[in-house]
């Protein structure tokens, strides 16, 4: 690890990386589902109508749902200082263009991407896998799920741009670094979980 690379807590990195991979998989497979079964707004025609596409998307999405629950808890508990702070809104007109201002925007974008994921995953959970094969494209939750896809795409792009702006490559790489401190070792997890179960703190 280079000396200038920031250090990110291991658990946060682990959940963030798995979550990011799954979200990207859902964005891609979701688009393929739309492209083959719907295609009202634009059609690329990459795949033919294929039931297993819906199942593949559903599988990635279901695992994402479980991982996202963990990520959101870790993000709030361990990474709270990288999410929006109570005074960020009031101070948004101060120090415009300075580093601190960009960092405030970055924290807001980090929080927005969490809400975008909640929108996509929440509306996804209310889908019925038979709607598209039955040609039922008019359901409210399906339309919301499509809008969620677009918002998710914009949120990822903004999140990447802001991460690059505030910390450049070193910050981006720090989120995918595989090294960890001895006290963060997964070998200690059973011990830590047992200690937590004895004295749970929410």
The residue ranges that bind ligand HEM (CB under 6 A) are 12, 16, 19-20, 23, 26-27, 30-31, 33-34, 54, 57-58, 61-62, 64-65, 75, 79, 82-83, 110, 113-114, 117, 120-121, 124-125, 127, 129, 132, 145-146, 149, 152, 156, 159-160, 163, 171-172, 175
Token duo for residue 31: 């688009």
Closest approach, Cβ 18 to ligand HEM, in A, equals 10
Instruction: Give the residue closest to ligand HEM by C-beta.
Output: 79
- Nearest CB to ligand HEM, comparing residues 43 and 195: 43
Closest approach, Cβ 4 to ligand HEM, in A, equals 14
- Nearest CB to ligand HEM, comparing residues 108 and 121: 121
Closest approach, Cβ 154 to ligand HEM, in A, equals 12
Whole-angstrom distance, CA of residue 82 vs CA of residue 107: 5
Closest approach, Cβ 181 to ligand HEM, in A, equals 17
What would you measure as the largest C-alpha separation in the chain, in angstroms? 57
Closest approach, Cβ 129 to ligand HEM, in A, equals 4
Which H or E run includes 179?
none
- Nearest CB to ligand HEM, comparing residues 55 and 195: 55
Whole-angstrom distance, CA of residue 109 vs CA of residue 107: 5
Q: How many CB atoms are located within 10 Å of the residue 30 CB?
A: 23
Token duo for residue 109: 């974008």
- Nearest CB to ligand HEM, comparing residues 55 and 87: 55
- Nearest CB to ligand HEM, comparing residues 164 and 193: 164
**Contact by Cβ (8 Å): 188, 10:** no
**Residue with structure tokens 């690379």?**
5
Closest approach, Cβ 127 to ligand HEM, in A, equals 4
- Nearest CB to ligand HEM, comparing residues 54 and 108: 54
**Contact by Cβ (8 Å): 168, 4:** no
**3 state DSSP class of 178:** coil
Instruction: Return all residues near 15 (Cβ < 8 A) that are at least 6 apart.
Output: 67, 70, 71, 74, 75
């Amino acid at each position: 690890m280079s000396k200038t690379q920031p250090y990110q807590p291991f658990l946060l990195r682990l959940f963030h990386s798995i979550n990011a991979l799954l979200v990207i998989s859902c964005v891609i497979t979701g688009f393929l589902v739309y492209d083959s079964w719907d295609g009202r707004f634009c059609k690329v025609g990459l795949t033919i109508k294929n039931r297993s596409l819906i199942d593949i998307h559903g599988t990635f999405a279901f695992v994402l749902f479980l991982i996202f629950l963990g990520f959101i808890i870790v993000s709030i508990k361990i990474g709270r200082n990288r999410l929006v702070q109570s005074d960020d809104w009031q101070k948004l007109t101060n120090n415009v263009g300075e580093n601190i201002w960009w960092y405030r925007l970055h924290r807001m974008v980090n929080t927005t991407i969490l809400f975008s994921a909640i929108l996509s995953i929440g509306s996804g959970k209310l889908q019925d896998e038979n709607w598209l094969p039955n040609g039922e494209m008019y359901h409210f939750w399906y339309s919301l799920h499509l809008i969620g896809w677009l918002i998710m795409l914009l949120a990822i792009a903004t999140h990447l741009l802001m991460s690059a702006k505030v910390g450049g490559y070193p910050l981006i790489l720090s989120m995918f670094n595989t090294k960890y401190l001895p006290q963060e070792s997964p070998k200690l997890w059973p011990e830590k979980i047992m200690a937590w179960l004895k004295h749970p703190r929410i």
